[in-house]
Amino acid sequence: MYNLLKGKKGIIFGALNENSIAWKTAQRAYEEGAEFVLTNAPASIRMGELDVLAKNTNSQIIPADATSIEDLENLIEKSMEILGGKIDFVLHSIGMSVNVRKKKAYTDPNYDFTQKGWDVSAVSFHKVLNVLYHKKAMNEWGSIVALTYMAAQRVFPDYNDMADNKAYLESIARSFGYYFGRDFKVRVNTISQSPTPTTAGNGVKGFDGFINFSEKMSPLGNASAADCADYTISLFSDLTKKVTLQNLFHDGGFSNMGVSDAVMDKFE
């Protein structure tokens, strides 16, 4: 390894199990010399295996509902106590659509479900940024990253209202990122990742078919969760100090493809 994060301290949201991008990122951050706190909603902690990751990375767990300002204030304050100072990096890897879970069509949603998914998947990022900003919790040249998907720009019908949530998430990163850069020299970016077989990804209708299609469309093939973890580490490191307000496609080239020979072969 390269000690890219030696001496850096962070908070990682959203690790559930070993398939999670947040889980892989935590492993890589530990390998690169970082110290960090792990957090997730109490229900997700009960459902997942976060204690295993904490043990393997010598980390502490602080439960927090990312839609609650009070929980986030407690998380940030305790994290700085545990880590002995301000934060250098934060990963927001949270997303949920009740409409998808309940198989409600985009054209016939339950709007209470829509509100819940929007709050968890997107507004939670604004709240995280808000608490970090007002507590002046980030070190200069720190890095905040959220995970997104290109359904924010293009139509993927089965992605449902998560597409709207991701579009809002990306806008938050740009808008709040301006203030973080101006006031604290902190960068804020989103990574638009290939479809990845995480717990959340597997909940999308037709996911297996789509991941195969994406593999054939991408000249480099799909980026795995481990690949995404590597890319995230580069954004946490000092090698990307002037990269901010960006939505960075990490998808093997899929986002710039119109069609590929492999896909056309299926129709000829």
Flag whether 3 is in a domain.
no
159 labelled catalytic: yes
Flag whether 4 is in a domain.
no
Flag whether 2 is in a domain.
no
pLDDT at 50 over 80: yes
pLDDT at 200 over 90: no
The active-site residue out of 159, 168, 179, 231 is 159
111 labelled catalytic: no
> Is 21 labelled as part of a ligand binding site?
yes
Q: pLDDT at position 175, please?
A: 98
Total number of domains constituting the chain: 1
pLDDT at 199 over 60: yes
Flag whether 155 is in a domain.
yes
> Is 103 labelled as part of a ligand binding site?
no
3-state secondary structure the chain: CCCCCCCCEEEEECCCCCCCHHHHHHHHHHHCCCEEEEECCHHHHHHCCHHHHHHHCCCEECCCCCCCHHHHHHHHHHHHHHHCCCEEEEEECCCCCHHHHCCCCCCCCCHHHHHHHHHHHHHHHHHHHHHHHHCCCEEEEEEEEEEECHHHCCCCHHHCCHHHHHHHHHHHHHHHHHHHHHHHCCEEEEEEECCCCCCCHHHCCCHHHHHHHHHHHCCCCCCCHHHHHHHHHHHHCHHHCCCCCCEEEECCCHHHCCCCHHHHCCCC
> Is 20 labelled as part of a ligand binding site?
yes
Q: pLDDT at position 236, please?
A: 99
Flag whether 131 is in a domain.
yes
The active-site residue out of 30, 149, 168, 231 is 149
- Summarised one tens digit per residue, pLDDT across range 13-49 is 999 999 999 999 999 999 999 999 999 999 999 988 9
User: What mean pLDDT do residues 108-135 have?
Assistant: 98
- The range of the structural domain enclosing residue 71 comes to 9-264
User: What mean pLDDT do residues 156-178 have?
Assistant: 97
Flag whether 116 is in a domain.
yes
> Is 121 labelled as part of a ligand binding site?
no
Flag whether 76 is in a domain.
yes
Flag whether 180 is in a domain.
yes
Q: pLDDT at position 268, please?
A: 83
> Is 211 labelled as part of a ligand binding site?
no
- pTM for this predicted structure: 0.96
Query: 152: domain CATH number?
Result: 3.40.50.720
Q: What is the mean pLDDT of the chain?
A: 95
